[in-house]
Amino acid sequence: MTRYTAVLILLLTAGCASVAPVPAAAQPPVAATQPAPAKPTATPATPASPPTAPRVAATRATATPPAVAPRIPATTPVAVPTATAAPLDLNALEAQLRATRAIGVFTKISLKNQVDDLMKAFREHYGGKATRTMSDLRRSYDLLIMKVLSLLQDHDQMLASAIVSSREAIWGLLSDQTKFANL
């Protein structure tokens, strides 16, 4: 029973991922092009020409255009790096979840109860007793994983990353009746 709980906790924590913020595109600095206020002259006989029009035109003419990223043709295939998946170690993930300080004690207890409920739902599904479909179970699994990841993402990014990378492997164990029976 504790092994099922450990697997469920690991499953829940594997699905949520922290998302690194995307850096904003660098934009060229904007220079103020307002002319200095005209000073009143002592001799009113000389007409003053409006200095704003030539300065604005000169400033626009000498300004450098913003850098534009080169466009990639739509027919160019994009190479996707393939990472070799490390073997799934549920016991290590469970130990890390128990040891992390990113999640409080009461929250860990609540998560354990939710994992137990999800494992019970899988047992009922495979036993033919449940009315929940596999897509309902997947939705519950994803929500639990997202909850765990949201708790971990700011305070234990290494564990959150490990959970994200093992999310699908854990789902593979849960969704296969034979593998689930061996847990």
CA distance 183 to 169: 13
The three-class DSSP label of residue 125 is: helix
94: pLDDT strictly greater than 50: yes
Residues in the chain: 183
The percent of residues in the chain predicted with pLDDT above 90, rounded, is 40
| Mean pLDDT across the chain | 72
Nearest to 110 by CA among 77, 84, 144: 144
CA distance 66 to 69: 10
**Tens-digit pLDDT profile for residues 97-119:** 999 999 999 999 999 999 999 99
Sequence ranges of the domains in the chain: 2-16+89-181
Residue that the structure tokens 């990378």 belong to:
165
The tokens describing 45, both together, are: 């006989």
Pick the residue with more confidence: 135 or 90? 135
For 96, other C-beta atoms within 10 Å of its C-beta total 18
**Tens-digit pLDDT profile for residues 110-169:** 999 999 999 999 999 999 887 789 999 999 999 999 999 999 988 999 999 999 999 999
